[in-house]
Chains A and B, each alone.
Chain A
């Protein structure tokens, strides 16, 4: 399975995780809050229902008490003697006095009115219109509270409380107390209910007797049917007479057939519930917001340091400097610390690597070697910048071996190619020396050394090697070879001179003892001339030093050899030759000339004058060898070796020689040119 196919889990920002976390924590809290509010609302509802029930109970009790009280009044009147004696006039007066604004109607068992205190005595209607009461009473023989009706005499809605008066033969009279709906209204109002509460009383037919609000409007009207059918004592939600939604409960007094209703506006209940809901909602929103904000703030306080850490990690990866401050989160700080340490370690090792690379690069530059690597599997040659500098080529792509060998000098290419193939096939280490040709045509010598890496089966994997520019070395080798050749030539030449000296000395001095001495002198003279040259590294020598060196062994008495002339440097090529000439002259003088006597003197003087030769500016030196006070001089009879040597030597230094055998002594004039600047030592 490759890396790409690996499933990566879906990821969210840390802040979202925290918000989720907070939501999970906050959810039960919100639910609890909601439950509390719900419970509180339910309790409020229950309290209200209980209150409605209480009010209903109290109202029915008040009605019952009122009926009881009035029944008691009637029963008191029933015991009046005037009734018993049927003295209706007296009874009328007594009743009227005791009842005040209410009135009393007394009928017999048939409904004939006997007394009616509402109207003046004697003007009462003949029959009562409240026959339903009489009929009911005849059956139950118990007090009866009537429905609302409009009395014949009264001509307005009234209700009555009637009691039976029983005689010997059953019901004898019915005594009714006429009562006004206002009395009931007063009773309702006496309950002192708070604003919003409404109470209604209606009779068996559903006709309204009293309403705590809007009595004038609703008196005598019939209540809606569903009011009459609703279960007693239970709180229900219904419309009021005005059409308002109410919570209402109905009840029935024990003593009347009426129905009592107590109601409370659902609007007020709802508004309470709404308030609670608002409160709960606000609390929920507040909790949610607080949670979300807190989660976000915490999230940010996490993600910001984490982001900085992530950036720092990326910086470590890139090798940039890591700048990450400590945060308030211990774990993040630990990661940051680890990152800083890692960055430091990386930097340290990178510095070390850079240093070592630099060192290697500098070493390669100084040593003028370059590295190359050959990937034998892919047939690719990689060459380092140093190697490309040696080869004189610019930056390049890796190339195959054949084209890489193009840089080899055409004369060497075939052999180098063959050698490389052989090395690849079977060798472990190699060293080749060959020429390369740069693109600009310059030819340089290189040494190519390397090593072949092989796999277990012996196949070449790669070749790592170095190329060293050995052109200078080769040139030095060449120079050295030339130098050796030159040295050999000079030694051989010197030996040839020695050989000649020996040969010619032998001719003039056949006696071995004399030969040894004369030959020794010549060798010593030659040696001293060489010494002079050695002192100046074969650059030449001053003329006076040459003269001194040659004549030194001939000085037997101070003052006999004089020397005079300006300072002049002679090149090496002239030095030896002139020394040999002076030696020849001195030898001749010691044998035949001025130095052969005790009084003879030799004066050596020279002058220089600037002149031009074909080689450029030069000094013309005229050296005069003058012998005085010696034995009489005569020209030699034949031209000896000395003369030939002097002549040939003069030729050698491109000069001329003039010897005069005057009587006072030999005078020899040697003229030769000296380059203005003493030249490099030249071969003799």
Chain B
């Protein structure tokens, strides 16, 4: 049985009243939800909040899942939307509270990332990603970390493949420039 079929069966079981099936689905996807949110938001608490929000939405809205696409695509759409909404909210909060982008960032990685050696590199990459405009950041993360094709990203975000490719090109170029600058 492949993952897709297994997901569908778990969804059906949950919709019939089996909460354990939902827990299995949550455990299966929680880490991927966390990492996408973490890379988009560059903050542990925000990423954690997104995970909780997405699980709550899944729990209340799984009855609307149409089984036309993979479950992960459906979950991903919710995650991507919630991340963008939170970014907009934080931007407005910064405007109204006159705070800067340099406010204390909560990387919070000390206890949650197993590989200690990678922590420094991860923190650096997180800063680079945060420097990218949101649309570029999103497509760069979805291509490189989530390994979606342009077609899948287009389906999730609603953007044209041409626009996505352009954003990806600019993001890749900017990341290269940021790494060069850091070396200097």
B is bound to A: no
